[in-house]
Amino acid sequence: MLKVFALLTLLASSAVQAQTSLQSDLPLNYLAQVHPDAESRPLVIFLHGYGSNEADLIGMKFQLPSQYNYLSVQAPMALGEGRFQWFRKKGDGAYNGESDDLKASSQKLRAFIAAAGQKYHARPDKVYLIGFSQGAMMTYEVGLRQPAAVGGIAALSGRVLPVLKNELKTDPPPASLAIFIGHGTADDRVPYSGGTEADALLQRLAYQPQFHAYPGVGHSISAAELRDLNGWLQTLNP
What pLDDT is stored for residue 65 in this prediction?
Answer: 98
So where are the chain's domains?
4-236
The residue-averaged pLDDT of 188-201 equals 96
Question: Helix and strand tally (H, E) in the chain?
Answer: 6, 9
- SS3 of 99-158: the string is CHHHHHHHHHHHHHHHHHHHHCCCCHHHEEEEEECHHHHHHHHHHHHCHHHCCEEEEECC
Q: Distances in Å between the alpha carbon of 180 and those of 34, 45, 156, 205?
A: 23, 14, 8, 15
DSSP, collapsed to helix, strand or coil, labels residue 227 as helix
Q: How far apart are CA 220 and CA 38, in angstroms?
A: 34
Whole-model pTM: value is 0.90
What pLDDT is stored for residue 176 in this prediction?
Answer: 83
What pLDDT is stored for residue 13 in this prediction?
Answer: 40
Q: Specify the CATH number of the domain 4-236.
A: 3.40.50.1820
Q: Is residue 211 within 8 Å of 181, Cβ to Cβ?
A: yes
Question: What H or E segment, with its residue span, contains residue 212?
Answer: strand 210-214
Residue 224: pLDDT band by 50, 70, 90 thresholds?
Answer: very high
The residue-averaged pLDDT of 188-192 equals 95
pLDDT tops 70 at residue 111: yes
